[in-house]
Amino acid sequence: MISSNAERTAHFVFDGCDTVDLARIYGTPLYVMSETMIRSRLREIRESFLERHPNTFAVYASKAFQTLEICKIVESEGIGLDVVSGGELYAAKRADFPMDRIFFHGNSKTPAELEMAVDFGVGRVVVDNLDELRILDGLARSRGRRVPIIFRLTPGVDSHTHEYVSTGRLDSKFGIPLDPKVRDAYVGAALAMKGVELKGFHFHVGSQILVRDSHLKALEIVLGFMGEVKRDYGFEASDLNLGGGFGVHYTEQDAPEPIAHFTDAMVAAVDSGCSRLGLARPRLIIEPGRWIVAEAGITLYTIGSVKEIPGIKTYVGVDGGMPDNPRPALYGARYEALIANKADAAPAGTYTIAGKCCETGDILIRDIALPAPEAGDIVAVSTTGAYNHSMASNYNRLPRPAVVMTAAGRHRLSVRRESFEDLIARELG
C-alpha cells in the first residue's frame, strides 16, 4: 500500500503503518511483522483444514520465527506448536504455551533436551533415530512415565526444491528410511518398550513447495508402510503428521496456492488409502511455518552508500545484510524490494543491494529495478518473516535488529534491538 500527501513523496504503508515512520521511530535494520496477516493465516488453517475435516490438528513450525509474542498469538488461535530444540521449548514454556499441544522435532536431540521434553510433558516427541528412542525410554521409565511418540519417516521423494531445504529424499539426515530391516528395528523396538507409546508417523518432503505432487507421492508411500506395519505388528497409527513446506510468494516467479490446495487433496488421499488398505483413519496433522509468517514480515534498511562501477553495476549499500538475512548467501534466495520513501517513483535503473559485512557474498538482492537511490533512503524488503529473525547472527559484531509488531495501523516493540553491551555480555575478560 502507498500513502501520500501534498508535502511529500508517497511512502510505503504496511499493515496500516507508514514504514518510513517505523524506521524513524525504531531505527534500522528493523524486522516488521504484521499480527493482522499472521492471524489471518492461522484462521485460514482453522477454517480450511481444522473445521472442514474431522479429526485434524495443526501446529506452527516455530523455527520459522519464534518469539514469546508469536507463541501467545498462535496459542490464542487454537493452533499447536512445533519446536526443534531445548531453546525453542524453553521459550514456549516461558510463554505459557500448553505443553500438550507441542510437537518436539529434531534429528539430534540431546539427552538434556529429551529430559526437558519428558519433564515438561510435551504432547508428542517426534523420534528420529534409535539412540534417541533408547534415551527417551530410559528417561520415561525412571520417572514412571510413558511418553507419546511418533516416528519421522523418510519417504524417498524428490520435492523439486533447493537441496538445502529438501528433506524427504532417502539421502537425508532426517528420518527413518523405509527399508524393511530398518522398519523392524524401529517399530519392533518401540512397541516392546515400557517408557514410550508409539502413536504414529510423520513425514516432511521439503520447504517452499508450490505444487502438491511430492506431498501426495510421499503420502502414498507412507500409507503403504502403515499397511505393512498393521499386517506385521497389528499396530494401527492414531496420528499421521503430513508435514508442511507449503510455498509462499517471494518474487513474481512464485505462484503459491491456498493451504486447502494441499490439505483437501491429502485428506482425500488418506481417506481413500485407508479404506483400500483396511486402516482406521488416523488424526491428520499439518505443521506449516513459513506459510504462516513469511509474507507477514518485511525488513527495513537505511541506504548508506550508492557506488557505481561504470559499465558493470551500481551497488546500493545498506546497514544490514547476511547477519539479519542469511538466506541469499546460504542458497541464493531471492526477494523483492522497494524504496519506502519513494514508493510511487518510477525506476531509474537496475541496482544490486549489498549488505555491510566483510564478505563478497553479502548481497541481499541482485539486479533489481529501483527509483534513483540516495543515502538516507529506506529500503523495504518483502517476505522476510520466515527464517530471517530466527537465523540472525552477530557476524562482524553486528547487533541483531529489533522486531516491531503491527496491527491495522498500530505498532509496538516486540523484541528490542541488541546493544553493543549485549554482544559482550557473556564474555569473561
CA distance 353 to 41: 30
Q: From residue 363, give the alpha-carbon distance in Å to each of 290, 298, 331, 405.
A: 22, 17, 12, 26
CA distance 244 to 237: 19
Q: From residue 142, give the alpha-carbon distance in Å to each of 116, 121, 139, 192.
A: 14, 14, 5, 16
Concerning whether 17 is annotated as a catalytic residue, the answer is: no
The number of C-alpha atoms within 13 Å of 298 and in the hemisphere containing its C-beta is 26
Among 63, 43, 57, which Cα is nearest to 294's?
Answer: 63
Cell of 167: 528433506
Cα angle 166, 387, 335 (rounded to 5 degrees) comes to 90
CB of 147 within 8 A of CB of 136?
Answer: yes
How many CB atoms within 10 Å of residue 110?
13
Catalytic residue among 17, 71, 274, 358: 358
Q: Which residues are catalytic?
A: 358
